[in-house]
Amino acid sequence: MQMVDWRSRLIHPTGRAPEGFRSLATPTFRGSTTILRSAADVADHWDASQAPYRYGFYGTPTTLELAARIAELEGGAHCFITPGGQAAIALVYLSFVDAGGHVLVPDSVYGPSRDLATRLLSRMDIDAEYYDPAIGSGIEALCRDHTQLIWCESPGSVTMEIQDIPAITQVARERRIVSALDNTYSAGVLFDAFSHGIDVTMQALTKYIGGHSDLLLGSVTVRDRELYLRIGDVHQLLGMSASPDDCSLALRGLQTLAVRLDQLEKSTVEIARFLSAQPEIEQVMHPALPSSPGHQLWKRDFKGSASVFSVLFRENVSRESIIRFIDRLKLFKLGFSWGGVTSLVMRYEELSRVPPVPATRIVRFNVGLEATADLIADLASAWEAFR
């Protein structure tokens, strides 16, 4: 058919760039529709391992490349990319827990994850029970006949408790309960979740995989095909597609993950040690320091530590002087999230923990890629707030 009108040629061009450019970078494939070969070939299914590219929603080559690389790094069978870490948490819950079900969640879990359980899952009559992150094999006593999921997060958010994952997953396996781990801190590499018995991991790729505070993405990785099939259906039904542009940035982030983590670990340990020497500090919660809860488990199970940690100020340090201290910091910026190249600081009015923790005396730091000496000088100068 001959096209005469330039309007049609805009949509069906004949001019094309030559093929054969072999970039080192994964191309960014944008697309909702992907063209099917024949009318006989029409089928609408999410499972890219059977027949990829039915619809952009189930994954473009860019998103599926990112998923494949995360699965490979974590040693899982398959991975799903989600619009953010919080979405990944929701995907795990909604894939494995039914109305009337019971889930066990560590008291130290990421705050919005707890909110999801208490404010949304409760509306579906799902009972979330919080447990002491140091519980270990004692989790057995909390398991009930209708327990469907044991959630873990190690280290815990803000208070940084390391969990005895092998002890917990042994109970989960015996009771045939799915175990899930928020593996964001370890970027999927500092802790090998699957070899320690975990069934499902999720990460906020927003943090170390993105690595530059310029995207929001999450991932859910599974041990085997059965778990893959259970999640895939829910991933599709919830509409959890991710932007190929963000995935492209995450693929770039992956290439420098090793050098960033190595440098961040060194700098963070040095800064944590500097802070632990200050008389105003009661405790430094950094898994590589013996003062931190679960330090021995960290030594046993982890390959390294990352850039986020917290300090507890002594009781005689006022809330006001802590606020003054934070406002005086120049290089540490005040903001949520972590894992990027910029040092950050955060304080809290309230943290849900049993027994309760004095939240206003806790300050969390995220160390970035600035020179360590400059960061320590920044802290030392803001320390005037206490003197």
CB of 207 to ligand PLP, least distance (A): 6
Among residues 170 and 307, whose Cβ is nearest to ligand PLP? 307
CB of 176 to ligand PLP, least distance (A): 26
Per rule CB under 6 A, is residue 163 in the interface with ligand PLP?
no
- Cα 283-286-287 angle, rounded to 5 deg: 120
Torsion of CA 329, 288, 140, 184, to 10 degrees: 50
Which residue bears the tokens 């005037």?
384
Identify which of 364, 362, 273, 278 has the alpha carbon closest to the alpha carbon of residue 315: 362
Q: What values do phi and psi take at 210, rounded to 5?
A: -60, -60
Write the single-letter amino acid at 295. H
Residue nearest ligand PLP, CB atom distance:
85
> What element of type H or E holds 324?
helix 319-328
CB of 216 to ligand PLP, least distance (A): 5
| Number of residues binding to ligand PLP, judged by CB under 6 A | 13
CA distance linking residue 77 with residue 58, whole number of Å: 17
CB of 206 to ligand PLP, least distance (A): 3
In the three-class reduction of DSSP (H, G, I as helix; E, B as strand; rest coil), residue 228 is classed as helix
Binding residues for ligand PLP restricted to 69-128, rule: CB under 6 A: 84-86, 110
Write the single-letter amino acid at 211. G
Among residues 120 and 373, whose Cβ is nearest to ligand PLP? 120
Site string for ligand PLP, 27-66 (x = CB under 6 A): ----------------------------------------
Site string for ligand PLP, 131-160 (x = CB under 6 A): --------------------------x---
CB of 88 to ligand PLP, least distance (A): 7
CA distance linking residue 334 with residue 345, whole number of Å: 5
- Cα 106-97-169 angle, rounded to 5 deg: 45
Among residues 278 and 352, whose Cβ is nearest to ligand PLP? 352
Identify which of 209, 294, 213, 289 has the alpha carbon closest to the alpha carbon of residue 250: 209
Name, in order, each residue with C-beta under 8 angstroms of 60's C-beta and a sequence gap of 6 or more: 29, 30, 31, 34, 53, 244, 247
CB atoms inside a 10 Å sphere around CB 338: 25
Peptide bond into 61 cis (omega under 30): no
Binding residues for ligand PLP restricted to 178-207, rule: CB under 6 A: 182, 184, 204, 206-207
Site string for ligand PLP, 336-365 (x = CB under 6 A): -x----------------------------
Among residues 62 and 86, whose Cβ is nearest to ligand PLP? 86
Site string for ligand PLP, 217-256 (x = CB under 6 A): -x--------------------------------------
- Interface contacts to ligand PLP, rule CB under 6 A: 84-86, 110, 157, 182, 184, 204, 206-207, 216, 218, 337
